[in-house]
């Protein structure tokens, strides 16, 4: 009988009709052979379920076989008794890579020579060869077309294709599409005809596209079946828009059918089951003449800021449906961009308690255990960069021999103190040096460090870290089998495998015991997840090894280097998914849009209807432009252009037609801080809904918006909504009941939240006094401790006073709690080391000028520069060793820049434009003192008078004055700054910076101690910024200057008396004077 092609609109009952025909057939012939060709496993499962429901009391149905096209290929070859030797993907890529290598070495690849062996090009070429095979283009046909084009690129691709196919045939191998070629060849033979007639009924359902290979094979098999029905969707009147893909599929079947098929139009049987407004959307989609209808609660349009919140809003709607009585099997969520949305739906489904059947597995490379392992394998590539190494050592997935938490903490401290940014040798040298004291930076308040490690600890750490470095670094070159064996040993054996499983006696000499570490977790679902991922990772290794074994059998074995091995491993992992395959019954189905086709549901959700998501952007063809494809088409090579591959409009139309009762569309609205525009698919649906704008506005989730308490789907959302509702000026009507319920159901959690909320309200209030949560000490022991720390015995520094002035809590955390921010060590100079080196060179320079009695004047500039260069030479040469950074090319550049800046400072200082001359004291100057200590390092004891609680007390202070110059009968103070940020005098007046005030007082007392009544007067001081060659904070000790000093001392006295430790800058907080002790 001729093949029957039945055409019907989307959702018109095509599958229902097919089921009727199947049931009629098996009722008439209980043992009839029925072949059902469906587009995917989900469609097969749904078809089976509906068949059971339609079969009435029949509990068993015999001789019904289900196929995808690839399964059909395999079945036909088994019937022909020609079971193929199939290549899996890893073996296929390996084979193609070997062919590319041979062609490259033979000088036959000019256009692709530089990229021929890269994994990316191998995959691109593999995909293109599949496209050629799907389009029934044999190598000789492509070669002839390439000869006509005279293109080097075409010729090389033809050469690759011919060599690839010849290798397969020579070794009796087939790839996935080649199996289809063999099946088609068999179906065309006379010997298949008797077998084909044994198929009583062939049913094809759920397809909207066919490749030439699929269409040709299908129509050939259908030709011999006793009856064949092919169901196709159609959109009458819209064949050039949403119906284009259906027209093309119909055309393919007609083109490759041996005899003309019989065309039927199926009456609209199912549309009456669809909600009227949903039917209106289906009928009116993409039609300009459509008359908008009211949504009537059947069409929902949701907007949320990003995909995470969008997925959350979708699942809240799903949960509401389930609570209202809908069954999980009634709900379908179809995703166009699985990587963007799949993980969010999985996590939120668990959080909301919504049972989900996630069709597609998680990418293997995103599993935490596998990610940790891949990061570990890449440590050598960054030469064990500090952060990467410490993260790997602290990973819960590794049990590293000899390196426990104590040793890892020691390494962390060593890297901070001895500035280890990375480098295998640097780590081991730092461990060896860990017993030596070292002072880092310019803060003279910090004394030299004690030894970080004792001898035994250093030896233990050195030995085991060396072993770790050696064992996790892959060999520079080896056979793939050796790399796989090394990696298997590193992962370790699973000592808790099923006792019935076969076990080998391998015992690795060095292992991270990953399976055992995974089993130590306390969450069974996470343990199962990670063990499954580790098993899949081992399967990837076996697949790579099998591919390499095949290549060896084909005399294409090779020795890899570690870079290529890791590249191939990562590529394979990134293209592998952990398949879940959960049972659908009792679960909401979350699947891709392509796998959702043919699965009608009462409630359909379609997320991602913004530009760049749905429709998805078409990727650029890396081999051919559309114009080049068109040229190949004209030479007889069947290919699709990019425009012909665009199919999202038709996909979307099919998805909309799946909805029976409700249709919910959603989209994200913000991308990287900018508005995310809706796609034309979203706009097409809103054009059919009269109240679309009001509906969108009503249901939109804004940026930072808290989910209303009536919409909350998880305890944390309920509690957050309750807290937000209590913070509003006007309470919501439903808040009291929800609040009471939250208090009853989550009493402990709510009390913590309410306590934190009240604490933050007090902290942020302008009218409520500070308390113990905002810097006010109340515990007597703490008060006594703070008082002792701030008492008369304390020696203050400019840095301490500045900390206190900028933020009381900064001072409290850093000076009383002794907490320091952890910063990542950097190679080369940081600001502290740069300042130390600058100070040392300038000190040595101006000290020699002082000793030689040279004035700071233009006539002495050349001598001053010579002194600077001679002083800098040894200091710069020894700086890497003394300050703990690498003596490399970067340092050579940095010291040249550093020296240029210091020479510029000296030139400016010895000129008439010196900021000291212009802003403080004109006239001849002589350097008098450099790096002058006070109250430390043998310097004069210095104190400043401050008024505390109405009494004048002396505050002991310490530090170093960078430079004191003599000008006539007075002196001026110079403080060098490596940075360029100015320090205005206003900071001192307002109580934020006390450095210059402290130095001016200290200088006067130093001079009085040295000269007695003949001491010169202090004229003023300034900060000199080396980078910008500018000065700031110039303060002359005239009446205005003395007034500034008095104001600064007043601030210090009030700060110390108040003991204010809250996190607010003094100049912006009127409560700064409130006592906290």
Tell whether the model's pLDDT for residue 729 goes beyond 70: no
In this structure, the answer to whether residues 533 and 589 fall within a common structural domain is no
In this structure, the answer to whether residues 1052 and 967 fall within a common structural domain is yes
Q: What's the CATH number where 200 sits? A: 3.40.50.300
Question: Could you tell me which of 416, 421, 455 has the C-alpha nearest to residue 435?
Answer: 455
Contacts of 918 (CB under 8 A, 6+ apart): none
Lowest mean pLDDT segment, chosen from 314-318, 373-377, 445-449, 979-983: 445-449
In this structure, the answer to whether residues 1060 and 920 fall within a common structural domain is yes
User: Which of helix, strand or coil describes residue 122?
Assistant: helix
**Could you read off the pLDDT of 897-948 as tens digits, one per residue?**
999 999 999 999 999 999 999 999 998 999 999 999 999 888 999 999 888 7
In this structure, the answer to whether residues 382 and 470 fall within a common structural domain is yes
Give the residue from 880, 910, 940 where a domain finishes: 910
In this structure, the answer to whether residues 847 and 803 fall within a common structural domain is no
**In this structure, is the dihedral angle defined by the CA atoms of residues 256, 258, 262 and 266, taken in order, positive or negative?**
negative
Would you say 603 and 333 are in contact if contact means Cβ atoms under 8 Å apart? Answer: no
In this structure, the answer to whether residues 43 and 154 fall within a common structural domain is no
In this structure, the answer to whether residues 312 and 401 fall within a common structural domain is no
Would you say 649 and 681 are in contact if contact means Cβ atoms under 8 Å apart? Answer: yes
- pLDDT recorded at residue 735: 67
Domain range for 248 is 4-84+181-273
- Does 531 map to a domain? yes
- Does 704 map to a domain? no
**Could you read off the pLDDT of 490-514 as tens digits, one per residue?**
999 887 764 444 555 556 679 999 9
Per-residue pLDDT, averaged over 385-411, amounts to 94
Q: How confident is the model at residue 761 (pLDDT cuts 50, 70, 90)?
A: confident
Contacts of 893 (CB under 8 A, 6+ apart): none
Would you say 232 and 250 are in contact if contact means Cβ atoms under 8 Å apart? Answer: yes
- pLDDT recorded at residue 451: 64
Neighbouring C-alpha atoms within 13 Å toward the C-beta of 351: 19
What are φ and ψ of residue 66, in 5° steps?
-110, 140
Tally: H helices and E strands in the chain: 42, 25
In this structure, the answer to whether residues 987 and 1074 fall within a common structural domain is yes
**Could you read off the pLDDT of 812-846 as tens digits, one per residue?**
888 888 887 777 777 667 788 889 999 999 999 99
Interatomic CA distance for residues 23 and 765, integer angstroms: 75
In this structure, the answer to whether residues 282 and 301 fall within a common structural domain is yes
Contacts of 632 (CB under 8 A, 6+ apart): 145, 149, 154, 624, 639
Among all chains, which residue has been given the structure tokens 């101690």?
1009
Q: What is the mean pLDDT of the chain?
A: 87
- Does 189 map to a domain? yes
CA distances in angstroms from 320 to 327, 358, 736, 976, listed in the order given: 11, 20, 21, 67
Interatomic CA distance for residues 764 and 290, integer angstroms: 55
Tell whether the model's pLDDT for residue 1065 goes beyond 50: no
Instruction: Tell me 815's DSSP state.
Output: I
Q: How far is CA 336 from the centre of its chain?
A: 20
Per-residue pLDDT, averaged over 872-895, amounts to 85
Give the residue from 885, 910, 935 where a domain finishes: 910
**Could you read off the pLDDT of 231-261 as tens digits, one per residue?**
999 888 787 778 888 999 999 999 999 999 9
Interatomic CA distance for residues 40 and 735, integer angstroms: 48
Report CA dihedral (899, 902, 904, 906) to the nearest 10 degrees. Answer: -130
**Could you read off the pLDDT of 416-454 as tens digits, one per residue?**
877 788 889 989 988 888 865 544 444 444 444 456 788
**Could you read off the pLDDT of 45-75 as tens digits, one per residue?**
888 888 888 766 666 778 899 999 999 999 9
Give the residue from 244, 273, 302 where a domain finishes: 273
Exposure letters 578-589 (e unless 16+ CB within 10 A, then b): beeeeebeebbb
Would you say 204 and 34 are in contact if contact means Cβ atoms under 8 Å apart? Answer: no
Q: In the sheet where 659-668 sits, what is the strand order?
A: 299-304, 659-668, 601-606, 331-335, 588-592, 356-358
Among all chains, which residue has been given the structure tokens 């307002």?
990
In this structure, the answer to whether residues 1046 and 925 fall within a common structural domain is yes
In this structure, the answer to whether residues 571 and 692 fall within a common structural domain is no
In this structure, the answer to whether residues 740 and 806 fall within a common structural domain is no
Lowest mean pLDDT segment, chosen from 517-521, 810-814, 955-959: 810-814
Total domains in the chain come to 7
- Does 394 map to a domain? yes
């Amino acid at each position: 009988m001729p093949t029957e092609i039945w055409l019907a609109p989307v959702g018109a009952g095509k599958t229902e009709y097919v089921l009727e025909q199947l049931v009629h057939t098996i009722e008439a012939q209980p043992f009839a052979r029925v072949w059902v060709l469906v587009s995917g496993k989900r469609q097969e499962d749904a078809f089976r379920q509906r068949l059971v429901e339609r079969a009435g009391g029949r509990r068993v149905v015999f001789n019904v076989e289900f196929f995808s096209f690839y399964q059909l290929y395999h079945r036909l070859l088994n019937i022909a008794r020609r079971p193929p030797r199939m290549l899996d993907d890893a073996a296929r890529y390996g084979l193609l890579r070997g062919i590319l290598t041979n062609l490259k070495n033979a000088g036959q690849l000019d256009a692709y020579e530089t990229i021929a062996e890269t994994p990316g090009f191998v995959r691109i070429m593999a995909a293109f060869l599949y496209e050629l095979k799907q389009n029934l283009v044999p190598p000789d046909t492509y070669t002839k077309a390439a000869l006509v084009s005279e293109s080097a690129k075409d010729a090389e691709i033809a050469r690759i294709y011919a060599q690839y196919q010849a290798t397969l045939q020579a070794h009796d191998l087939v790839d996935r599409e080649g199996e289809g070629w063999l099946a088609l060849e068999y179906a065309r033979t006379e010997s298949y005809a008797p077998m084909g007639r044994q198929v009583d009924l062939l049913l094809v359902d759920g397809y909207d596209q066919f490749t030439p290979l699929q269409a040709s094979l299908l129509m050939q098999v259908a030709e011999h079946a006793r009856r064949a029905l092919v169901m196709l969707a159609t959109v009458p009147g819209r064949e050039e828009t949403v119906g284009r893909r259906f027209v093309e599929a119909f055309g393919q079947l007609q083109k490759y059918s041996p005899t003309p098929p019989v065309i039927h139009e199926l009456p609209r049987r199912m549309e009456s089951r669809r909600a009227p407004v949903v039917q209106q959307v289906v009928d009116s989609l993409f039609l300009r003449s459509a008359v908008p209808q009211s949504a009537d609660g059947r069409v929902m349009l949701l907007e949320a800021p990003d995909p995470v919140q969008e997925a959350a809003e979708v699942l809240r709607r799903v949960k509401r449906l389930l609570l209202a009585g809908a069954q999980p099997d009634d709900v379908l969520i179809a995703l166009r961009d699985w990587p963007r949305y799949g993980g969010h739906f999985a996590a939120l489904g668990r959080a909301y308690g919504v049972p989900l059947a996630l069709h597609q597995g998680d990418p293997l490379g995103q599993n935490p255990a596998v990610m940790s392992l891949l990061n570990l394998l890449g440590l050598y590539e960054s030469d064990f960069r500090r952060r990467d190494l410490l993260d790997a050592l602290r990973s819960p997935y590794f049990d590293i021999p000899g390196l426990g938490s104590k040793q890892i903490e020691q390494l962390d401290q060593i890297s901070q103190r001895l500035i280890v940014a990375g480098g295998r040798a640097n780590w081991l040298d730092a461990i060896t040096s860990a017993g030596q004291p070292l002072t880092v930076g310019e803060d003279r308040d910090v004394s030299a460090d004690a030894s970080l490690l004792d001898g035994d600890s250093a030896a233990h750490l050195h030995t085991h870290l060396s072993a770790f470095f050696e064992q996790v670094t892959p060999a520079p070159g080896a056979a793939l089998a050796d790399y796989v064996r090394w990696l298997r040993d590193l992962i370790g054996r699973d000592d808790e495998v099923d006792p019935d499983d076969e076990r080998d006696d391998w015992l690795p000499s060095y292992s991270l015991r990953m399976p055992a570490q995974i089993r130590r977790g306390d969450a069974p679902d996470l343990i199962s997840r990670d063990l499954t991922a580790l098993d899949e990772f081992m399967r990837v290794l076996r697949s790579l090894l099998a591919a390499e074994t095949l290549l060896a059998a084909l005399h294409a074995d090779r020795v890899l280097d570690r870079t290529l091995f890791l590249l191939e491993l990562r590529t394979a992992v990134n293209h592998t998914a952990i398949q879940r395959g959960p049972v659908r019954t009792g679960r909401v189905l979350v699947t891709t849009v392509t796998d959702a086709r043919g699965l009608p549901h009462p409630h359909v959700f379609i997320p991602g209807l913004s530009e760049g998501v749905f429709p998805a952007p078409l990727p650029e063809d890396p081999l051919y432009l559309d114009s080049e494809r068109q040229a190949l088409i004209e030479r007889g090579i069947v290919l699709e252009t990019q425009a012909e591959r665009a199919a999202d409009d038709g996909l979307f139309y099919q998805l909309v037609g799946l909805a029976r009762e409700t249709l919910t569309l959603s989209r994200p609205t913000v991308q990287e801080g900018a508005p995310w525009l809706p796609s034309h698919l979203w706009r097409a649906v809103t054009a059919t809904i009269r109240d679309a704008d009001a509906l969108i506005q009503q249901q939109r989730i804004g940026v930072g918006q808290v989910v209303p308490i009536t919409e909350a789907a998880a305890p944390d959302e309920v509690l957050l909504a309750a807290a937000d509702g209590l913070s509003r000026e006007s309470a919501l009507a439903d808040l009291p009941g929800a609040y009471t319920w939250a208090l009853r159901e989550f009493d402990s959690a709510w009390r913590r939240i309410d306590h934190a909320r009240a604490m933050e309200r007090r902290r942020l209030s302008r009218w409520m006094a500070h308390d113990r949560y905002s810097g006010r000490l109340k515990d007597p022991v703490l008060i006594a401790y703070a008082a002792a720390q701030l008492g008369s015995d304390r020696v203050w520094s400019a840095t301490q006073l500045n900390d206190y002035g900028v933020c009381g809590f900064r001072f409290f955390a850093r000076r009383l709690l002794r907490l320091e921010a952890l910063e990542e060590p950097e190679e080369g100079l940081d600001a502290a080391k740069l300042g130390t080196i600058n100070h040392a060179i300038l000190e040595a320079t101006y000290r020699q000028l002082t000793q030689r009695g040279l004035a700071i004047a233009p006539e002495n500039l050349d001598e001053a520069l010579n002194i600077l260069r001679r002083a800098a030479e040894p200091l710069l040469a020894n700086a890497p060793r003394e300050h703990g950074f690498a003596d490399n090319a970067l340092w050579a550049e940095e010291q040249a820049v550093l020296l240029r800046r210091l020479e510029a400072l000296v030139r400016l200082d010895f000129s008439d434009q010196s900021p000291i001359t212009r802003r403080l004291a004109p006239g001849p100057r002589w350097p008098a003192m450099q790096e002058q200590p006070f109250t430390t390092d043998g310097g004069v004891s210095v104190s400043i008078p401050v008024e505390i609680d109405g009494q004048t007390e002396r505050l002991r202070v310490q530090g170093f004055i960078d430079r004191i110059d003599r000008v006539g009968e007075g002196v001026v103070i110079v403080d060098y700054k490596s940075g360029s940020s100015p320090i205005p005098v206003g900071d001192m007046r307002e109580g934020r910076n006390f450095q210059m005030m402290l130095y001016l007082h200290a200088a006067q007392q130093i001079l009085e101690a040295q000269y007695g009544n003949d001491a010169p007067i202090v004229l003023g001081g300034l900060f000199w910024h080396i980078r910008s060659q500018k000065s700031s904070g110039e303060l002359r000790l005239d009446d205005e200057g003395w007034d500034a000093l008095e104001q600064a001392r007043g601030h210090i006295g009030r700060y110390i008396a108040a003991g204010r430790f809250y996190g607010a800058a003094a100049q912006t907080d009127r409560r700064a004077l409130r006592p906290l002790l």
